[in-house]
A and B are shown apart, each in its own frame.
Chain A
């Protein structure tokens, strides 16, 4: 993206068409304007707002923070926390850490995959669930463990994990 006088506005308009209102990010950009080393913090705030970081948004942040787009993309793709694709309403973070592995987390992954028909990193077609393998949630003594939208579920079995997913599905069906 070569810089011209209005490209920030143009890219903001394009983002808005995709449902991303960059004005929401402005307070964060103001807060960290000129604070060196705050790129990761800004990206975290942006992901908190929009759920994910589309490349156009990364370019916009690059423009606004005076970084090269390549640097922002480089940082965003380095860290596991950042997602460049949208995620489902429920983000399943399945622990594949050592303790969980020893206690059968692979079987739990198979059960989730079988039940929802998605693999690690994928989202169900209805946009409800995304499955992400992670490396330890710090609840190792309750392994195997998963966290869904901040809530931790421990001592999982294939049957228990299906129950949890089914109850979330039921809740969603009811809401409709």
Chain B
């Protein structure tokens, strides 16, 4: 029997290490014959820690929300040949998994990422073998062209086109680079692949390198992902030992060396030219394009940069054919896409589905709907470069063009769900605050423009908004979009523009009525006590940190607005719903 504990960063955060420590010492103490192993993230983060038991006859049971105590019970029943049904994954969640089509995530949460043999057992390194022994580089590029694979890092540029450009670039040396900077705060699909199936990335890069005629590769990983770096290092070492990386791969004259470079925490380094500057040990400042990296990139040599998820699809496409991939999706957007569902969603985590589903499908069918059954308001897609898509447009298809038409973008796949308690002006302020801090400072429109936008948005959320602010925001937004040097600045105003487009009334309420309907902007919220509902239990007064509530026992209490700091503790502590928040 084999016990597999899910140990992605999320599983570990939920307590997977405690579970496996407890299980291992228990198994040892009892002398049971259970082999233990680990795997990456299956994407059902709301059910972590997750443990699989695979019996000798091959049958498997998945247990969820396991802890250091329940794991012992589970081991006991498994040893008796019984399923510990009360801890088993619920049927609805199994269906949720079955509804997905997993290509980039095909092995995540299934294989042990630290053992190359488990990857090989899943047809691993077969695709690169086929490429170097049976296909010309042009054939490979053709298959990728047929598949319709487009870049998953944000811009959605056709992958074959970039590879072909790099292939035709004349230069002695070419670099194959992987962008694993995953800067969109709220997105973690690349982390799942890096931690859960690093060989899929390595094989994808090998195939790309073969197609482009490159023999050196670099993976640029963000510093915040220590576990990903550790697992990648192990994977690279194992691939070298087996001869999948190094000289004369599969006995051919194709050679490829791969190394990791850890980023140091700068969002702008996700932009290609900034990433290259950072790889070269410089400040990560973007430069004007052209020349494009395919002409002059890393150390001024032709370089191709792709995202983690893009590479992770490649081996599958070679094994199954370009048509199998392009059979899924819409005329414009082929294959599957991984989304990171977070925010006010019931079942947050990673999902991989064919393009062409609707936003509603993803949020309600797969994501289980809104937390605490609140009202769905909007979804933010594309992170700081994207936009907020309102609930009315929930039927929008997951498709590059359809999403772009809303003012948002597909982006890298972050989907942050918002409900009625999310203030859209505050969201816009949040994103501009982010881009303002992350602006590298090279061009003035981005550096100063985002700062001025932030000041205006901050004053609106503080209740000091003035007539004319909305127009100023629009003017700044359009100016920055059209004049910033790189993608960061050119897209930074998108969250403001989309919220202005769909939630203008919220801006107007803040500015003219001094009201925040979501009750998020402290300065615009007032707390009062409904004398009819108040039973005089004194709980609120006891909880008030500044002594702003007065009243005697069994008599209605009163909040002194001058003293109130609007922390909301009275409202959360009241058992009779007597605190009115307006």
Q: Please report A residues at the B interface, Cβ cutoff 8 Å.
A: 36-41, 43-44, 74-75, 78-82, 95-103, 134-143, 145, 150, 152-154
Contacts and interface: CB of A to CB of B under 8 A. Distances in A.
Contacts of B187: 136, 140
Contact of A79 (B226, B265, B431): B265
Given A99-B343, A103-B344, A138-B224, A75 B282 contact: yes
Given A40-B281, A99-B185, A135-B438, 9 more contacts: A40-B262, A40-B278, A75-B281, A78-B266, A78-B440, A79-B265, A137-B9, A141-B342, A142-B14
A138 B229 CA distance: 14
B264 A138 contact: no
B380 A80 contact: no
Contact of B430 (A37, A43, A44, A98): A98
Q: Which 5 A-B pairs have the closest CB atoms?
A: A97-B185, A80-B265, A141-B45, A79-B264, A136-B185
12 contacts: A41-B262, A98-B416, A103-B343, A103-B344, A134-B265, A135-B185, A137-B224, A139-B10, A139-B45, A140-B348, A154-B13, A154-B14
Contacts of A154: 10, 13-14
A175 B22 CA distance: 25
A95 B13 CA distance: 14
Interface string B498-530: 000000000000000000000000000000000
Among the interface residues A100, A101, A134, A138, which one has the most CB atoms of the partner chain B within 10 A?
Answer: A138
Nearest to B195: A138
B350 to A, nearest CB: 8
Contacts of A95: 185
Contacts of A37: 279-281, 299
A141 B278 contact: no
Interface string B274-314: 00001111111000000000000001000000000000000
Nearest to A99: B342
Interface string B323-343: 000000000000000001111
Given A79-B266, A138-B191, A99 B186 contact: yes
Interface of B: 9-10, 12-14, 45-46, 48, 182-188, 191, 223-226, 261-267, 278-284, 299, 340-344, 348-349, 380, 383, 414, 416-418, 422, 427, 430-431, 434, 438, 440
Among the interface residues A36, A44, A135, which one has the most CB atoms of the partner chain B within 10 A?
Answer: A135
A37 B297 CA distance: 14
Contacts of A39: 281-282
A75 B348 contact: no
Contacts of A100: 185
A152 B13 contact: yes
B191 A141 contact: no
B283 A136 contact: no
B327 to A, nearest CB: 30
A44 B224 CA distance: 13
A75 B380 CA distance: 32
Nearest to A79: B264
B264 A136 contact: no
A98 B383 contact: yes
A141 B226 contact: no
A108 to B, nearest CB: 14
Given A78-B284, A98-B416, A152 B186 contact: no
Contact of B224 (A36, A74, A134): A134
Nearest to B266: A79
A152 B380 contact: no
A101 B225 CA distance: 20
Contacts of A74: 283
Contacts of B182: 138
B439 to A, nearest CB: 12
B37 to A, nearest CB: 22
A100 B278 CA distance: 28
Contacts of A97: 185-186
A78 B267 contact: no
A102 B14 contact: no
A141 B10 contact: yes
Contacts of B266: 78-80
Contact of B261 (A41, A80, A150): A41
B13 A44 contact: no
A142 B13 contact: yes
Given A99-B342, A135-B185, A140-B186, A153 B13 contact: yes
Among the interface residues A39, A80, A140, A153, which one has the most CB atoms of the partner chain B within 10 A?
Answer: A140
A44 B260 CA distance: 14
Nearest to A133: B437
Among the interface residues A82, A102, A134, A135, which one has the most CB atoms of the partner chain B within 10 A?
Answer: A102
Contact of A99 (B191, B265, B416): B416
A142 B186 contact: no
A135 B267 contact: yes
B284 A79 contact: yes
Nearest to A154: B13
Nearest to B194: A138
A36 B344 CA distance: 46
Among the interface residues A37, A43, A139, A150, which one has the most CB atoms of the partner chain B within 10 A?
Answer: A139
A82 B188 contact: no
Contacts of A38: 281
Contact of B434 (A81, A102, A135, A141): A135
Contacts of A78: 266, 283-284, 440
Contact of B342 (A81, A137, A143): A143
B20 to A, nearest CB: 15
Contacts of B46: 141
B226 A150 contact: yes
Among the interface residues B13, B188, B278, B284, which one has the most CB atoms of the partner chain A within 10 A?
Answer: B13
Given A38-B281, A138-B182, A141-B349, A102 B422 contact: yes
Contacts of B14: 142, 154
A19 B430 CA distance: 40
Contacts of B262: 40-41, 44
B281 A98 contact: no
A41 B427 CA distance: 35
A39 B284 CA distance: 12
A44 B221 CA distance: 14
